[in-house]
Amino acid sequence: MVTIAGAGPTGLALACGLRQFGVDVRIVDAASGPATTSRALGLQPRGAEVLARLGALGDLPDKAIRLRSLRINGAVALDMGFLRDAGQLIVSQAWVEERLRDRLSALGVQIEWNTPVASVSGWDWLVGCDGAHSAVRKMAGIAFEGESVMENFLLRDVHARWDLDRESIHVLLDGPRMTTLFPLPSDIWRVMSPDGGRWTPGPIDSVVWESAFRIHRRQAAAYRRGNVLLAGDSAHIHSPLGGQGMNTGLGDAENLAWKLALVVQGRAAPALLDTYEAERRPVAARVLATTTPATRVAMRPGLVSGALRDLMWPLLTLPVVQRRLVRAASQLDVRYSGPLAVGRRGGQRVPAFARVGRWVLAGPATGLEVARERLGDVVHHERAGDTLLVRPDGHLAWRGPSERLSAWLNEVLGVPATPRPTTRS
């Protein structure tokens, strides 16, 4: 049994992923019920793929807003068609969580609200997905290392009848003052203001949600301590600039789900879980490294930051810069290294199998029996040449002659217990 603390996007995605591999799951949350506010609002292509593999994407692409431009004081400063084409969606985190809850319910699991975790002892497996102030992380004695990036930062979701294009991000500059406006579905605006400023382009009809907080960049000193693991905001937090938080957490959840399923089902030794931190820590570290300086330049008030912004905006119009932004924001270019990324292009995403959500063996059928014996449910695609073994997260795990597959599986999975039959949900 795997117990998950936290019913946000990361915890819900992990629970869905484990259930799809037939693992018994319990998910608990100290809150009294689901959140109704948007909080995170960007669903990048990687996050959308994860939801699709979990069967939880649903109608989100139809309900989302697709950005067209970034405007500064009304004038188009950046054509954002490159992000629109890449599949970036502006959609409420609350909606994402709702789709995941529906999927989890269909998989036979109900969330236990009003149920805080009081100890990290006594569990088969415990995963802390309980946010930046994670009780699981604190009780496990895992440090949360980092620094404060900006203080007195204000987020508000408001109803307002402003004469503004709702397919654009709007940056309002007035000397050192700065406010950024994001359109949200249901005619709501997200207002982001540094230093607690409340400057807006007109009157606000009503405030849906408001939160003043400090922006931190922090990362857990370890993602695993014995049978306790961390994922999502429990393992890393950073600036909301760039909309990477929810997507990075969804990536954590998926990466951990299939590995933990193999261990729980006795198909792999617990040492396989060491690859979770090895693969996912660098992804979060890159997000922290890019969002921190960008936040300090883009959001901090003052004459120096303003001068830097004046230099930055023209650079964003360059195609080479836009291509790099797309690759970084989409997280589709994530490439893993290590024992689960072997052979030419090992660790890269395989677009042809990116939405399967199961192990895929592409090659002669001679390797299929071995793959299913060690991994459980495996989809087969006949293919000439080298055999490809694609992970459930769409990345290439191994490439080589089919007769060498068994030896590699024994090496990477370790000596298993007697595996239980896998039930695919």
195 contacts 296 by C-beta, under 8 angstroms: no
User: Which H or E run includes 95?
Assistant: helix 93-106
CA distance 237 to 256: 18
* 2-63+93-147+217-330 matches 335-425 in fold: no
Domain locations along the chain: 2-63+93-147+217-330, 335-425
40 contacts 164 by C-beta, under 8 angstroms: no
CA distance 136 to 374: 32
**Is CATH 3.50.50.60 what the domain over 2-63+93-147+217-330 is classified as, yes or no?**
yes
According to the 3-state scheme, what is the secondary structure of 261-298?
Answer: HHHHCCCCCHHHHHHHHHHHHHHHHHHHHHHHHHHHHH
Q: Sign of dihedral through CA atoms 49, 52, 56, 58?
A: positive
Long-range pairs, 135-140, Cβ under 8 A, ≥24: 135/5, 135/30, 136/5, 136/228, 136/230, 136/234, 137/220, 137/230, 137/234, 137/235, 140/225, 140/228, 140/230
CA distance 192 to 157: 9
Predicted confidence pLDDT, tens digits, the chain (425 residues): 999 999 999 999 999 999 999 999 999 999 999 987 767 777 888 899 999 999 999 999 988 888 888 788 888 877 776 666 556 788 888 999 999 999 999 999 999 999 999 999 999 999 999 999 999 999 999 999 987 666 567 888 899 999 999 989 898 877 667 788 989 888 889 888 876 556 788 899 999 888 877 777 799 999 999 999 999 999 998 776 656 778 999 999 999 999 999 999 999 999 999 999 999 999 999 887 776 555 655 555 554 455 565 666 666 667 776 667 666 667 778 899 999 999 999 999 999 999 999 999 999 998 999 999 999 999 999 998 899 999 999 999 999 999 999 999 999 999 765 555 555 55
What pLDDT is attached to residue 424? Answer: 57
CATH of 335-425, one of 3.40.30, 1.10.3210, 2.40.10, 3.30.200: 3.40.30
Rounded to the nearest 10 degrees, the angle between the axes of helix 274-298 and helix 303-315 is 110
What pLDDT is attached to residue 291? Answer: 67
Q: Rounded to 5 degrees, what are φ and ψ at 203? A: -65, 150
What pLDDT is attached to residue 288? Answer: 79
